[in-house]
Structure 1
Amino acid sequence: MTYTDAEDRSPQLRGALESVIGGYMAAVAEVLLTEGVPVAGVSAYGDVHDPSQDDFAGDVEGSVEFTRAFSRTLVGDGGETGLLWCGVSGWCFFHIPEGSGRSLLDSARWMGSGLTPEPVRVAAFLSEVRLDPREAGSGERPFYRAPHSDPGVLLRRLEIFGAVVEGTDPGADAVVTRLRSTACRRRAVEALTAADQEIVDVALHTGELDALAGLLEYVEGATPDDGLRELARRLARDLALRARDGVESVDEHREAFAYAEEQG
């Protein structure tokens, strides 16, 4: 689709860009989740003429966010981390330590590899970051297009990754929720059916057991994945019955394991 100068500033263009940026972020999230990275969410911003982005020498952007626990493991502190896609410079990893006063630009490690590299390449970049987050990539920012320019060209370039429409089902958040649920089910099945498992001695307060049951109940109600919903229900029941019947019942109450074997 070609946009005129007037249409370049239209809500329709912004919506179209956010749709394809969201699709690109979801495609990257899918690869990362397949590799076991705990993606928390994605975002997409498509106002190509927003003057507030001039401070960053950018315009449109997207991001892939991780769980706080993963970020802490990655960089060793409670600072802000993430993968940012900039519509001018491509992908970067950023880490802003708490209370440092640093900006995203100060901390960015740029991937290079062009404006819209394949999702598998972005995942490979994150693998490099996990080895050494302070040295992966480059501190020198690349520029692949001028800010606020040629939005129609950028739109067509991003369309190859698919599109999601915000405010509809599935929007970007709904797509990532589905992907996260699928990845979680896969990991749960692998864990439940792993060979050479041992019985561990873990002490829990009754309140902790109740909290765990509540979390499993939440998963059962919130996930769009039927398999994960059933696993959560059965695992909660297994734990409740073992708590009632004692340690001797550990091999008796294994409904979740039986279901996981069926899925495998």
Structure 2
Amino acid sequence: MGDYEVLTAAARPYLSTVLARALGEGLPVTGTEMLDGGPAADLEAETEGWIELDQEAVAHRYGAKVFDLTVYWDALSGWHIQAERPGSPDGDLYRWMGAGLVPAPERVTTFIATMLVDYTMTGSEERPFYRRVRQEVPSLTQRLRPYGS
């Protein structure tokens, strides 16, 4: 099994744990998805995943200003949000949590809850990089391992 598959397998339960906590807190989340980067994929990180939000709730909160609001995790920079803003002269907005690659699920759900209040002020515009592709894979896998139990 290559680095891509190992990281995807290790990250999937972590995202599921974050999703379960968000659901328990009543946040409008609906599921998770993971992409295994693989050597041919067009991803910056070996793997990435996201927590899907109820876009009806997003539309109720933000109206036509935001087409899609999603919470992503990747194996290089951790958690961030992406807001697709049709017609905005600035285009899509990205905001980074900046709390490491594997912050506690309660920190992530706080990030999500804050994003739902005001996504433009959540996190930072500065993208952090906590590791490089194909480096420190065993260390990251080890940090994700407790969520696989």
Q: TM-score per shorter chain, which class?
A: 0.7 to 0.9
What runs of 5+ residues in structure 2 fail to find an aligned partner?
Answer: none
CA distance in 1, matches of 2:60, 2:124: 22
For residue 26 of structure 2, the aligned residue among 36, 40, 48 is 36
Flag as ranges the 4+ runs of structure 1 deviating above 4 A: 99-103
For residue 35 of structure 2, the aligned residue among 45, 52, 73 is 45
Counterpart residue type for residue 145 of structure 1: R
* Change in 2 beyond 3 A, CA 1:34/1:44: same
Higher helix share: 1
Normalised to the residue count of structure 1, the TM-score between the two structures is 0.51
Alignment partner, residue 125 of structure 2? 139
Counterpart residue type for residue 60 of structure 2: T
Offset at residue 100 of structure 1 (A): 4.8
1:207-229 deviation per Cα after TM superposition (whole angstroms, max 9, x unaligned): xxxxxxxxxxxxxxxxxxxxxxx
Higher strand share: 2
Alignment partner, residue 137 of structure 2? 151
Alignment partner, residue 220 of structure 1? none
Percent identity, aligned pairs only, is: 30
Matched ranges for 1:93-242 at <5 A: 93-100=81-88, 106-162=92-148
What runs of 5+ residues in structure 1 fail to find an aligned partner?
Answer: 1-6, 164-264
Normalised to the residue count of structure 2, the TM-score between the two structures is 0.85
Offset at residue 102 of structure 1 (A): 6.6
Alignment partner, residue 62 of structure 1? 49
* Change in 2 beyond 3 A, CA 1:53/1:47: closer
Offset at residue 157 of structure 1 (A): 1.7
**Looking at both structures, which has the greater relative contact order when contacts are Cα pairs under 8 Å and sequence separation is at least 6?**
2
1:210-257 deviation per Cα after TM superposition (whole angstroms, max 9, x unaligned): xxxxxxxxxxxxxxxxxxxxxxxxxxxxxxxxxxxxxxxxxxxxxxxx
CA distance in 2, matches of 1:143, 1:158: 17
Alignment partner, residue 242 of structure 1? none
Contact 1:80/1:98 (<8 A) preserved: no
Which protein has the larger Cα radius of gyration, Structure 1 or Structure 2? 1
Alignment pair present for 1:91 and 2:79: yes
CA distance in 2, matches of 1:129, 1:49: 32
CA distance in 2, matches of 1:97, 1:53: 22
Alignment RMSD (CA, Å): 2.3
Counterpart residue type for residue 42 of structure 2: S
